[in-house]
Structure 1
Amino acid sequence: MVATLDDTKRSAIATKLADMKALQQLLIQNEQLFLKETNDSEISKRFQDMLNDDQKNMGILETVIVQYGVHGEPKDTIKQMVEKLGQLMQGSELSLYEKVFQHELLKHQQVMSGLTIHKASQKVGADVMAAIGPLNTINFENRAHQEQLKGVLEILGVRELTGQEADQGIWARVQDAMAAFSGVVGSVVTQNTDKQDMNIQDLIRMDHAKVNTLFTELLASNDPQKIQEYFGQIYKDLSAHSEAEEEVVYPRVRPFYGENDTQELYDEQADMKQKLDEIKAIDPSSSQFKDKIKQLMDVVGDHIRQEESTMFAAIRNNLSTQESEQLSTEFKAAKSKIAEKMAK
């Protein structure tokens, strides 16, 4: 039985990511409802922009969860809260102002969850930081949404209380607040993930970066238990990655990448799987263990170089942006299904 890094800390992060996904779906549902309930063109535009961001961010969040590689379920309390708030948003008990107020609180919760995961990952491991990196985009945009929602609430609140329009200048103050926030944290936030689905090259490259980080952490450790745990995560990540590639990616690229080059990728992964199984049978405290790991690193390194040079070039030259993003969606789905099967 291969030990993995699904320890208490990592499992807690997996649960928090699952909580965020449940809340993200509620945010999307809320914004769809708000668009139906307001006739104000300015407010509608802001809700539409938020909805577009949140739908994209759901894709990013799903990518982070798959890359993280540890399965988690949302807490029962989160499930109950989402269900109750969903019913309130659908009903007529709350005014639009009150619904948007609850929505802003959800945004705050989502921001704090994302920031907490980021800070916790710094304590747990560099491979976790590599996996959750794209979460920074969601954190930044949710914080910006909070500022936008403050302006919406001011307008709706004044209308509800007085039946009149609020004074002008609200949006200017909101923009100033957002600009100040951007100046403070924009330089350290990943903002280049601006679409719902990365292309297949980006997704595969993220897997490569994570496993290389795990190799580095393993070789730097002298604790047999931690070494075994790092190897367990490597075993799980490489197994899910290779099976998903063989199921989705390689059959798609074979017609333009070539029979021989594609077969070489299959052969390299067969060699990799054999070495993984060999290492699994070795005591992590044995002097042989790290020697075998270095042999595995050589095989994986050669495989990565081929994929990131010639295969990626073939994909760029033969698939459209939309086709590459669709392939990444299929790869992500296959990897998620494989990981869930392995977890069981």
Structure 2
Amino acid sequence: MVATLDDTKRNAIAVKLADMKLLQQLFIQNEELFLRECTDGEVADSIRKMLDDDRKNQGILDTVVIQYGIQKDADSTAQQMVQTIRQLMQGNELSFFEKVFQHELLKHQQVMNGITIHKAAQKVGADVMAAIGPLNTVNFENRAHQEQLKGILEILGVRELTGLDADQGIWARVQDAISAISGAVGSAVTQNSDKQDMNIQDVLRMDHNKVNILFTELLQSDDPQKIQEYFGQIYKDISAHAAAEEEVVYPRVRPFYGEANTQELYNEQARWGPMFEQLRAISPSAPEFKDRLRQIWDEIGDHVRQEESTMFAAIRNNMSSRETEELATQFKAAKSRIQERMGGTRTGATV
């Protein structure tokens, strides 16, 4: 059995990611409820745009968790908190202003969750940084939502306390604040200005990048235990990635990518399994281990270059943006099922 990198630190990050997914689901439920209760057209428009962002961010979080490769349940305290807030939102104990106020606090918590994960990833490994990269978009938009919610709270609060409308300058100040955030952190995050979901090329490229980092980390290490752990993670990630491609991607692209080209991709991936199995029988401290691994890496590198050049070009030329996004969703769902079937995504088992 080859150990993976599912150590204590990585499992802790996986739990925090699960906390973020749980909060994201609550955001969507809250905002759908707010739209049913809101009587102000301008406020409703702002909430509706926020809801669109949060639905997209739900998909981004799903991508990050699947890319990370370790699935955990949310912390029990977080689960209890979300259940309590959900009941409060659905009840009549809080005014609309108070509900939105609680929502703004949750947005702050989500921002801090994202920042904490990012800072922890810097300490844990380059492959973790690669996996969580899309969180930058989620963090940026939640920070912008905080500013929008502050503007909404000013309007609702003044109206609740006085029965009068607040000054008209509030929305201008909100937009100024959002612009300031964009100027301060926009260059450090990955923003998706057209609000589209990730397409299949984006998702596959993320997988390729993470495995490339793992190979690099392994080949630079002289610690047999670390080498064994990196190899286990590479084995796990490539196995799930390849199986999901063969289930979802290759059948979809075969009609326009060509029978010969598609079959070549199938055949290349079929060779990797036996090669990895042979490596598992060699001690990580043996000199030939890294030599054999470099041979696999070279083959995988050629395979990746073919996908990212000719296959990606064929996808761009033959599929609409919506179709590529739908294919990404199907790939992620297949990969998640395969990870669970391989075992250990929720328990940190070895492969």
2:100 and 2:134 map into 1 onto residues whose CA distance is 27
Contact 1:228 1:284 in 2 (8 A): yes
- Residue correspondence of structure 1 range 155-194 to structure 2 within 5 A: 155-192=155-192, 194=194
User: Which residue identity is paired with 1:181?
Assistant: I
Task: Give the distance between the partners of 1:329 and 1:194, measured in 2 at CA.
Answer: 18
- Residue number in structure 2 paired with 1:143: 143
Please name the residue that 1:222 is paired with: 222
Distance 1:323 1:285 in 2: 46
How far off is 1:159 after superposition? Answer: 1.2
Partner of 1:109: 109
Whole-Å separation in 2 of the counterparts to 1:255 and 1:213: 32
Q: Tell me the percent identity.
A: 72
How many residues are treated as equivalent by the alignment? 344
Q: Cα distance 1:193–1:12, how it changes in 2: closer, same or farther (>3 A)?
A: farther
Q: Deviations over 1:30-57 (max 9, x none)?
A: 0011111111111101100100100011
Alpha-carbon shift at residue 94 of structure 1 (Å): 0.4
Q: Partner amino acid for 2:239?
A: S
Deviation of residue 203 (structure 1)? Answer: 0.9
Q: Which residue of 2 aligns with 1:314?
A: 314
Question: Match for 2:266: what amino acid?
Answer: Y
Structure 1 unaligned segments of length 5 or more: list them: none
Distance 1:171 1:57 in 2: 24
Tell me the SS of whatever aligns to 2:21: helix
1:200 aligns with 2:210: no
2:43 maps to 43
| CA spacing shift, 1:197–1:173, aligned 2, 3 Å | closer
Change (3 A) 1:194 1:67: farther
**Contact conserved, 1:271 with 1:299, CA < 8 A, in 2?**
no
For the 8 Å contact 1:198–1:328, the answer to whether it is kept is yes
Deviates more, 1:85-94 or 1:272-281: 272-281
Q: Give CA deviations for 1:240-277 in whole Å, capped at 9, x if unaligned.
A: 00000111111111122222211111110011112111
Distance 1:220 1:108 in 2: 39
Aligned equivalent of 1:85 = 85
Aligned to 2:14: 14
How far residue 197 of structure 1 moved from its aligned partner, in angstroms, is 2.9
AA paired with 2:217? E
| 4+ residue segments displaced more than 6 Å | none
Aligned residue for 2:122? 122
Q: Secondary structure at the match of 2:337?
A: helix
Counterpart check, 1:53 vs 2:71: no
State the match for 2:331 in structure 1.
331
Structure 1 residue 193 displacement after superposition: 6.9
Residue matched to 1:278: 278
Q: Residue 67 of structure 1 aligns to a residue in which SS?
A: helix
Aligned to 1:68: 68
Q: After TM superposition, give the deviation of residue 194 of structure 1 in Å.
A: 4.7
Partner of 2:256: 256
Unaligned stretches of 5+ residues in structure 2? 345-351
- 1:199-246: CA deviations, max 9, x gaps? 111111111111001111111111111111111110000000000011
Q: Does 1:236 align with 2:227?
A: no
Alpha-carbon separation, structure 2, partners of 1:314 and 1:167:
54
C-alpha displacement of 1:11? 0.5
User: What is the alpha-carbon distance in structure 2 between the residues aligned to residue 192 and residue 98 of structure 1?
Assistant: 31
Return the letter of the residue paired with 1:147.
E
Q: Match for 1:31: what amino acid?
A: E
Distance 1:151 1:143 in 2: 13
Corresponding letter in the other structure for 1:238: I
CA distance in 1, matches of 2:257, 2:155: 57
1:294 aligns with 2:294: yes
Q: 1:3 to 1:83 in 2, by over 3 A?
A: same
Query: Who is 2:349 aligned against?
Result: none
Please tell me the residue identity of whatever aligns with 1:233: Q
What residue identity is the alignment partner of 2:316? R
Q: Distance in 2 between matches of 1:247 and 1:196?
A: 24
Secondary structure in structure 2 of the residue aligned to 1:2:
coil
Q: Looking at both structures, which has the greater relative contact order when contacts are Cα pairs under 8 Å and sequence separation is at least 6?
A: 2
Instruction: Output the aligned Cα RMSD.
Output: 1.2
